[in-house]
Amino acid sequence: MVTALARNAVKILFFLIITFAVARSLGHPENYADHKFVSQLALFLTGDVNAESIYDAYFYIDFFTVVTISIAFYLITMMLIRKTRRK
């Protein structure tokens, strides 16, 4: 039971490290998100385009991008670890 708990804790810590590394390497969402798309997203989410809704849209884009890339990287590394342990 303790080993399963330790493994889960290590997996969570590994995912957090991946997430932090991805977030730091991507930089600001203003660099990779088109302003026109962000304006349309802000209009869709809040019904108004102002500075606050634009920053919220940039946050949502950044958050979902980081989480998606982190999940993909985590699943790929876990699959590779499982394959190497089975051989």
pLDDT of residue 86: 86
Confidence band for 27, pLDDT divided at 50, 70 and 90? confident
Q: Which of 11, 26, 33 is nearest to 67 (CA)?
A: 26
Give the predicted TM-score (pTM) of the model. 0.85
Rounded (5°) CA angle 30-75-34 = 15
- CA distances, 59 to each of 28, 62, 80 (Å): 9, 5, 31
Asked if 36 and 75 touch (Cβ cutoff 8 Å), the reply is: no
Domain ranges of the chain: 2-86
Higher pLDDT, 71 or 48: 71
